[in-house]
Structure 1
Amino acid sequence: MARIVFVNGEFLPFEEARLPIMDRGFLFADGIYEVSAVVGRRLIDNEGHLTRLARSLGEIRIANPYSDEEWVGLQTELITRNELDEGIVYTQVTRGAAERDFAFPKEATPTVVMFTQPKSILASPQAESGIAVVTVPDLRWKRRDIKSVALLAQVLAKQAAAEAGVGEAWMVEDGAVTEGSSSTAFIITRDGTIVTRPLSNAILPGITRRSVMRLAQEAQLRVEERLFTLEEAHDAAEAFITSASSFVMPVVAIDGTPIGDGKPGRLTRRLRELYLDMAREG
């Protein structure tokens, strides 16, 4: 079956998709993106992703090209055309094509690109064994709350993780963990408190993060939003990350130091099951 993508109002075979070289997403990383998970051909936590997409667009002053209902229609059509049972839908909006100049063009139509990628999320082998992470300096700009396509710092962090043979990189600033290169970082203290950094311009407001924290509170688990240091992370009983493409993923080692007993912890496994139940129920 041919892979179908969406480009500026058209569903096209992947091989026929084209963008102008003057697109500001290519020239300036002048755009934003979102990733929504798909399980059983259904979009998971998608309302939050569309809300964040609209917010990011507003923060960089790009008009939202579609209503939420229209976005869902496009996502659903892509899922159907690609017969995607499990994986992700990627959406990117840039300011559009114009002659290269730093200032916003007076007239430009936003560029919209969407595609699907199959991925095993529910039965991920890594979720059974857990992943290790390495830490890297946080080199990003000061508006990390905007889901910008300017991802060079994250690319370098991911490469550091790949070269270390681990599953993710945690970024560190002033001794505190900010977040993963494409995930939210959590630790669980020895007294069972789930800890993650509070929302601010320093981190992306994770959609999976929000749902996991809600589920934890509904299960009467202790949740605390505060900065935590790398030293605290090494001493934690458990650790995990959340993201749209991994849901809840146990972290079993940081910089070669085992977390707890070096295996996915009890509370992390419970949180993953709570999220999986939510995803399955739709």
Structure 2
Amino acid sequence: MIEPSSIAIRASGLSKRFGDFTALDRLDLAVGRGVIFGLLGPNGAGKSTAIKILTTLLDASAGSAAVAGFDVVTQPVEVRRRIGYVPQLLSADGALTASENLDLSARLHGIYGAQRIARVQEALAFAGLQEQAHKLVKTFSGGMVRRLEIAQATLHYPEVLFLDEPTIGLDPAARRTVWERLLQLRGRHGVTILISTHDMEEADTLCDELAILHHGQLAVVGRPRQLKDQVGPGASLADVFVHFSGAVIDQGGHARDVRESRAAVLRRG
């Protein structure tokens, strides 16, 4: 049981309906501060819907939610000030340089003057892009863009960071670099991170705790080791995923139905 003062993300009976279709069905979650929490599930399970509600981008049909202690409906501005968000599709402006993208993000967060210059330089170092600072983002690889986007999303020192499928389509080396950046954020700054993923290795490597969604409902929540033990001796996280969601995992450890979800976007890298 998490103490209320230690909860960074709370959802109670959270639901979202689109006409007759229920995308999210009475989701209950409590994510502790400083935790890396994973949302797993097949396409259509409700992961992105949950993230969009928690980041104030989508209104819930029922239920309530709070992030960093603020209600997402009645206090959306306070929520936005305290979060970072990296969406599923690449979002950095390819027509701008890395430095210009970061400078724009700083201005949007009300960071000006010497502080803005310092934060941009710090973000470039965090992303490992100092040498590419003045190059157009459209020339970057997918992994470089992802690192830049994480740096943009954390430029204002958010309490909570949301990432929606951040590493789909990245090569193994780029994926691991992104993981290192996320672990750095949690370790150095105590950032709470909620990440949706289909990558079982990613979930096993990063997540302190995870939830599996199935048809918009919470199938199970717990620590990876506990869930493996629950499924049976020698079970992997892929076995846990299949057991609770019924989805098929390919040989790379990913849910088969998302294999090409970002391929077109990453071809430019």
TM-score by length of 2: 0.27
- Highest RCO, 1 vs 2 (Cα 8 Å, sep ≥ 6): 2
More helix by share: 2
More strand by share: 1
Q: Larger radius of gyration, structure 1 or 2?
A: 1
